[in-house]
Amino acid sequence: MATLIKVNQIGRAQGLQHTSKTLSLLGAASFLIKRQQFIWQDASLCRSLLRIRDENLPVSAQDFSLRLSPQDSRRRQEAFTHLSWDGAQYALRYQIKRDDARWLWVEERGERLSGKGETPHEVSAVIFNVQSIQEDRERAAYLAGHDDLTGLWNAARFNQGLTHIMEMAARHDARVLCLNISLSNLPDINETYGYDQGNRILKMVGAHLSRSVASPDITARISGRRFAVGLSGRALEEVETAAAALQASLSDNIYQSPHGPLTAEFESAVIVVPDASMTAEQFIMQTPLSLENEADKDSAINLKPQPEHTPSVISREDITADDILAALNDRRISLAFQPIIEAKSRKLHHYECLLRLRLEEGEVISAGRFIMAAERLGLVHLLDRRALELAAEALRQYSDIDIALNVSAVTLKETDRAAAYIAALKALGPEAHRVSLELTETAALEDPAKAGQFSVEARALGCKFAIDDFGSGYTTFQNLMAIEADIIKIDGSFIEDIARTPHKETFVRMMVDLAQTFGVKTVAEMVDNRADADLLERLGVDYLQGYMFGVPSAAPAWRHAS
């Protein structure tokens, strides 16, 4: 009999263990409510689910209610009052406060086991983590009326809003017009700087419209590069003046980017609603809102940015060798510094040095196209050397900073130029330990042998070596081992909005895992919001870089402090 009892006890323990594992996989914890007291089957599951410490584990109905909003606490109490017979069940979805003061969506399901009359004595319940399910529902509801990229209304919501202001205008004898706007040079921006930069410009345009258009007027991103604004007012002249002011503000606005301020060119059409009794759907169906066709462009107002406000984008085909040599000789090449921070501590680790060009007229712009032209003309190695000279000066002047410098493939491939660059690094002496050299993945692929040799020589001087824009090409980790890279910088296209993009998270997790296997540090580029930063930290990324932590600046904080 004793043996039988022992076997039964073991079987019961194994069954409970199996149940706990199942609940853990489901993101759930089970408990028994007995005369207002909570008895948790597995306290560790409760702590994991609710993110609470041992001393804060709810042991009574009152403890549990303190973690709920007053409204949800009342709803939960009402559910219990309806458990008037044994076997009665309930299901509730509410938010519960974790120890870190964040709110977690959970679903609680339970069944009355015993009681007296309408008062339950014992209730068996399970609580599930439904945060991701709730977020998916909220996101689906949000996207039903909003554009995912800009956060503005989408076309369907704009139709509803336009109908509303047209109805208001009819009641108050007001006038309504629709301003249709197209970012006409978006294809050029995408082609030159990539689609990520194009999306960034669209976001900035959307943000500017959102700030500039106040209720009851409305604005939306209709599709692609097209935006629409619905404006209303007492008199037509009043509405047209508002539309003209909005057009001017769009063209006058400065659109900053990692490449410096960019020109945003717009085409727009002002369309007056002719009949206040017309619905928005009828108006849109009968009106050529699209600016994609040549016929529509006849009525478009072409908004050209003012040169004194928005810098022009230099075409690399227009830049000559004399332009590059003149900029170098006149000392019109400078550096901007962007901070790179430690993911866990959020403390500064080092700065990346980015080239800037001052035009003869005095305007300072990103050297992106200037560098592209220099590569085409075979002069980019001169820019590499100038960047190193400027960085050396900063290192000597400020002893508490580390920096990262970009090196072109041309500098590495030509033996004499590579030797000259290594000699300049050697001249830094001990300061070379504060330098990281960044080579793009594409450049590393052009000649892995020479890239590897350059890496060995630079590392021998104390420098670190990094592969920039990793993931944009086809470099394998075997290539990294041959080059002896210390760091990989994960391309920003995999980082931007990663917290809302599961496939990006999967890809980055894979890269981080492999990097850690090879003992290589990781940097995430284009980190622009806290949700992305927090997720990247959890994924094990070592360093973060992006506008959230600072834009490239010619006068960073350490210069002001000196």
Is it the case that residue 303 has pLDDT exceeding 60?
no
Query: Checking DSSP bridges between strand 348-358 and strand 403-406, what pairing results, if any?
Result: parallel
pLDDT in tens, 112-126: 888 776 666 788 989
Which pLDDT score is estimated for 443?
Answer: 67
Place 474 in a pLDDT band, splitting at 50, 70 and 90. Answer: very low
In 3D space, the residue among 363, 356, 360, 435 whose CA is nearest the CA of residue 394 turns out to be 435
Place 384 in a pLDDT band, splitting at 50, 70 and 90. Answer: very high
Which pLDDT score is estimated for 279?
Answer: 58
Q: What mean pLDDT, rounded, does the chain reach?
A: 79
Which pLDDT score is estimated for 426?
Answer: 93
Residue at 164: amino acid letter: H
Residue 482: CB atoms within 10 A of its CB come to 15
Q: How far apart are CA 331 and CA 327, in angstroms?
A: 6
Place 237 in a pLDDT band, splitting at 50, 70 and 90. Answer: confident
Which residues have a Cβ under 8 Å from the Cβ of 337 and sit 6 or more positions away? 351, 352, 353, 354, 394, 403, 552, 553, 554, 556
Domains of the chain: 25-136 (3.30.450.20), 146-303 (3.30.70.270), 316-561 (3.20.20.450)
pLDDT in tens, 178-209: 888 989 888 888 878 778 888 889 999 999 99
Q: How far apart are CA 410 and CA 454, in angstroms?
A: 12
Between 159 and 386, the higher pLDDT residue: 386
Decide if 158 contacts 218 (C-beta within 8 A): yes
pLDDT in tens, 409-462: 888 888 888 999 999 999 999 999 999 999 876 666 667 788 888 888 999 999
Is it the case that residue 251 has pLDDT exceeding 90?
no
Q: How far apart are CA 130 and CA 322, in angstroms?
A: 63
Percent of the chain with pLDDT over 90: 18
Query: Checking DSSP bridges between strand 175-183 and strand 218-223, what pairing results, if any?
Result: unpaired
Is it the case that residue 343 has pLDDT exceeding 90?
yes
Between 562 and 1, the higher pLDDT residue: 562
Which residues have a Cβ under 8 Å from the Cβ of 365 and sit 6 or more positions away? 260, 261, 311, 314, 356, 357, 359
Which pLDDT score is estimated for 388?
Answer: 93
Q: DSSP for 385-405? A: HHHHHHHHHHHHH-TT--EEE
Between 301 and 401, the higher pLDDT residue: 401
Is it the case that residue 544 has pLDDT exceeding 90?
yes
Decide if 560 contacts 540 (C-beta within 8 A): no
Which pLDDT score is estimated for 410?
Answer: 84
3-state helix, strand, coil in the chain (%, to 5): 45, 25, 30
495-517 core/surface letters (b: 16 or more CB in 10 A; e: else): bbebeeeeebbeebbebbeebee
pTM given for the model: 0.47
Average pLDDT of span 498-503: 82
